[in-house]
Amino acid sequence: MESDVPVCTTLSGLSLPEELKLCRVIIEQSPVILFRRNPAPDYKLVYVSENIARFGYSASELLSGEKTFADLIHPDDMARMNAEIRVFERAGQTDYEQTYRILTRSGEVRWVNDVTTTARDEAGNILFYQGIVADVTERMRAEEELRKSEEKFRRIIETAAEGFVLFDPELRIADVNAAFCRLTGRDRDELLGLTPVDLADPEHQGFLRANLHRLRELPVRIFESGYVRPDGTTVPVLVHANTLTDAGGAPLGHVAFVTDLTEQKRSLALAREVMQNLTPRGTHHFGELAVAGKSLPCEEIGGDLFDLVAPGEDRPLTLVVGDISGHGVDSALLMAMARALVRDRLARPGTPSAILAELNATLYPDFAATSRFLTMILAQLEPDGSVRLARAGHDPALVYDPVLRAFRELLPSGLPLGVVEKAFFGTKETVLAPGEVLAIGTDGIWEARSQDGEMYGKERFKARLAAALEAEPAAGPRKLINAVLDDLAAFSAGHKREDDVTLLVARRRRPEG
C-alpha cells in the first residue's frame, strides 16, 4: 500500500527522514486540507492531512472509518453534492470543484471549497480521488452580505416613489424601476434601449440635442425636462443624473433619479397666474408718451418687479423696474411684498430718491434676514416727456435718440435696497425728445447666454433696439420689446434661461408729418 504521506520534491542537503518531516510540517500548517479516497463503491479515505483538526476531528478517526468525510457534510447539501458529482461524471470530467457546508465537531457550520481530481489507469479505470479542501467561510459570508446588500438596494430602488434609470455609456436605457414605468406610461421592455431624447417633449428635445454631449461630460447634472406618454400627455420632470465610473475613473454608464413635477407645476401655474395678474398689460398712453413692458420668468414664477402706477390728479406716471437677487418661489414672494410696499408708498407724493430711501428703510430688516437684495429704478414721467429718475443699484436706464442714432445713460448713484439700513439715492433728470425711447431692463437680458456660452450683452441689445427703429421708425413700445425679446430667444436657443428677463420701454410720440 502506498505511503499515507504525499511525495515531496527532494530538497537538496536534507536526508529523506528530514525531508518527510519538513513536508509533514508544511502540510499540517497549510490553510488547506489534503485528502485522498478510493473510488466507488466504498469511497474510503486513505489519507487526510492532520490539519483536519481545525474542524475538531482527527485524521485517525476519519481514516479508521469511525467517521467518514460524508459525516462532516451538512445534511442539507448532501443531495446537491451527489447530483453535481453525477453531472461531472456523465460529462467525463476528471476534475471538479464544489462549494458546500460542513459541520465541525462543535456544531459550527463552515463553508469549504473542494477541488477534486481523479487519477485513472491507462484503461481509464479510476484509481483514486485526491484533492484539497479550503475553508472559505469568510468569503462566503462576505458574498452573502454583498448579495443581501444588493437585494436591499434593489428593493429600495424598485419600491421607490421616484423614477430610477440606469443608462449605458451611450445614454441608452439599460434598466428602470417600477416608478419610472408608471411615470412614462411604458413597460420596462418598451423603455430598454431608448434615450432621453426619445422620451422628451418637442421643447426639451431641442435642449437635449443641443446640450446632450455637454451634459454627458458633467459628473453631476440637474435639469428639468418633459416626458411624452404614449397617450400624448406630457409629464414635467426634474432629473438628477450622474456618471458611474470604475476605480480608475473610466465611465461605466449613467444613473438618473427622475421626479414627477406635475403637482408642483400645477401649484406654480396657479401662482404664476396670480403674479401675472399683478403685472400691467398692454400699452399705456400718458400725454405724449406710450409705455409698455414685458417680464419672462426663467422658472414658473420670477423675482423681477415691473409696474406702472397710473397718476392721480396732477401726479406723474411712475415706472418701476426691480430685480431681486436669485429667482424662483422665494424671490417671487419677496417681489410680491416689495410691490405692495411700492404701491402703498406711491399713494403719497414724493421724489423718486425720497421714495427709494423710505422703501429701503422698510425692506432692510426682511432682506437682511434672507441675505437678498433688490435693485430698482423708479422713474416719474410727465406728459411732456420729462423724466425724473432714481436708481438703487440697478443697471442704468438707456435713452435712444433715433435721429442721432445714439444712446445716453441715466445713471444716478444708489446702492441696492436691503444692503444697508440707511442709504442715499441720487436723482437724474432728462426730457425725452419726440421719437426718443427710454428703455429699462434687467440683467437677465444681457447676461443671457447662447449654446456656446456667449453672453447676449448690452451692445447687442442696443444694436437690436436701434435696428428695430431703423426698420420701423414709428414703432411703438410693444413692437420694440418684441423685437428685442425675439432676438434674445433666437440667440439663446438651446440654452435654458438662467435669470428672469424684464424690459420696459417708454416712447414719446413723434410729431406728425
Each residue's pLDDT tens digit, 113-143 = 999 888 888 887 888 888 888 999 888 888 8
* pLDDT at position 513 over 60: no
Single-letter amino acid code for the residue at 215: L
Does 1 fall in a domain? no
* pLDDT at position 1 over 60: no
Same domain, 240 and 322: no
Q: Is the pTM of this model over 0.85?
A: no
Does 271 fall in a domain? no
* pLDDT at position 270 over 80: no
Q: Which DSSP string do the residues of 373-438 spell out, in sequence order?
A: -EEEEEEEE-TTSEEEEEEEBPPPEEEEETTTTEEEEE----PPBTSSSS----EEEEEPPTT-EE
**What's the CA dihedral at 344, 350, 353, 357 to 10 degrees?**
-50
Cell numbers of 266, please?
400645477
Q: Once rounded to an integer, what is the mean pLDDT over residues 431-451?
A: 93
Same domain, 291 and 410: yes
Same domain, 136 and 195: no
- Confidence band of 11 (pLDDT split at 50, 70, 90): very low
Each residue's pLDDT tens digit, 162-192 = 899 999 988 899 999 999 999 999 999 999 9
Same domain, 164 and 132: no
* pLDDT at position 3 over 60: no
Same domain, 501 and 397: yes
Q: Which DSSP string do the residues of 313-350 spell out, in sequence order?
A: TT--EEEEEEEESS-SHHHHHHHHHHHHHHHHHHTS--
Q: What count of other Cβ atoms lies within 10 Å of the Cβ of residue 302? A: 29
- Confidence band of 19 (pLDDT split at 50, 70, 90): low
Same domain, 62 and 123: yes
Q: Of the candidates 140, 175, 191, which is a domain's last residue?
A: 140
Does 400 fall in a domain? yes
Q: Of the candidates 260, 287, 302, which is a domain's last residue?
A: 260
Each residue's pLDDT tens digit, 365-395 = 888 877 789 999 999 999 999 999 999 999 9
Look up residue 253 and give its DSSP letter.
Answer: E
Same domain, 104 and 226: no
| CA 13/CA 55 separation, integer angstroms | 35
Does 26 fall in a domain? no
Tell me the backbone φ, ψ of residue 151, rounded to 5 degrees: -65, -40
- Residue that has been written with the C-alpha cell 406654480 in this structure: 268
Each residue's pLDDT tens digit, 275-303 = 666 678 889 999 999 999 998 887 766 67
pLDDT value, residue 191: 94
Burial 479-501 (b: 16+ CB within 10 A, else e): bbbebbbebbeebbeebebebbb
Same domain, 435 and 327: yes
pLDDT value, residue 144: 83
Tell me the backbone φ, ψ of residue 376, rounded to 5 degrees: -155, 145
- Confidence band of 400 (pLDDT split at 50, 70, 90): very high
Each residue's pLDDT tens digit, 305-347 = 889 988 666 789 999 999 888 766 777 778 888 888 988 998 8
Q: Once rounded to an integer, what is the mean pLDDT over residues 218-236?
A: 88
Q: Of the candidates 195, 227, 260, which is a domain's last residue?
A: 260
| CA 314/CA 319 separation, integer angstroms | 16
Cell numbers of 160, please?
421607490
Q: Once rounded to an integer, what is the mean pLDDT over residues 472-493?
A: 93
Alpha carbon distances (Å) from 82 to 79, 87, 120:
5, 9, 20
| CA 236/CA 68 separation, integer angstroms | 68
Same domain, 248 and 342: no
| CA 280/CA 293 separation, integer angstroms | 8
Q: What count of other Cβ atoms lies within 10 Å of the Cβ of residue 453? A: 8
Same domain, 334 and 422: yes
Q: Which of 187, 189, 192, 186 is nearest to 165 (CA)?
A: 192
Same domain, 174 and 86: no
Least confident of 217-221, 318-322, 357-361: 217-221
* pLDDT at position 12 over 70: no
| CA 105/CA 123 separation, integer angstroms | 40
| CA 85/CA 131 separation, integer angstroms | 14
* CATH number of residue 428's parent domain: 3.60.40.10
Tell me the backbone φ, ψ of residue 445, rounded to 5 degrees: -75, -60
| CA 213/CA 165 separation, integer angstroms | 18
Least confident of 9-23, 241-255, 444-458: 9-23
Q: Which residue has the higher pLDDT, 397 or 328?
A: 397
Same domain, 79 and 164: no
Instruction: Tell me the percentage of the chain whose pLDDT exceeds 70.
Output: 89
| CA 243/CA 241 separation, integer angstroms | 7
Alpha carbon distances (Å) from 456 to 36, 243, 449:
83, 31, 6
| Peptide bond just before 383 cis, omega within 30 deg | no
Task: Provide the number of structural domains found in the chain.
Answer: 3
Does 95 fall in a domain? yes
Segments forming the whole domain that contains residue 205: 160-260
Does 354 fall in a domain? yes
pLDDT value, residue 20: 54
Cell numbers of 235, please?
409629464
Does 14 fall in a domain? no
Each residue's pLDDT tens digit, 54-110 = 899 888 888 887 777 778 889 999 899 888 888 887 887 878 899 999 999 999 999
| CA 290/CA 282 separation, integer angstroms | 10
Does 13 fall in a domain? no
pLDDT value, residue 5: 46
Each residue's pLDDT tens digit, 87-97 = 887 887 878 89
Q: Once rounded to an integer, what is the mean pLDDT over residues 465-483?
A: 95
Mean pLDDT of the chain: 85
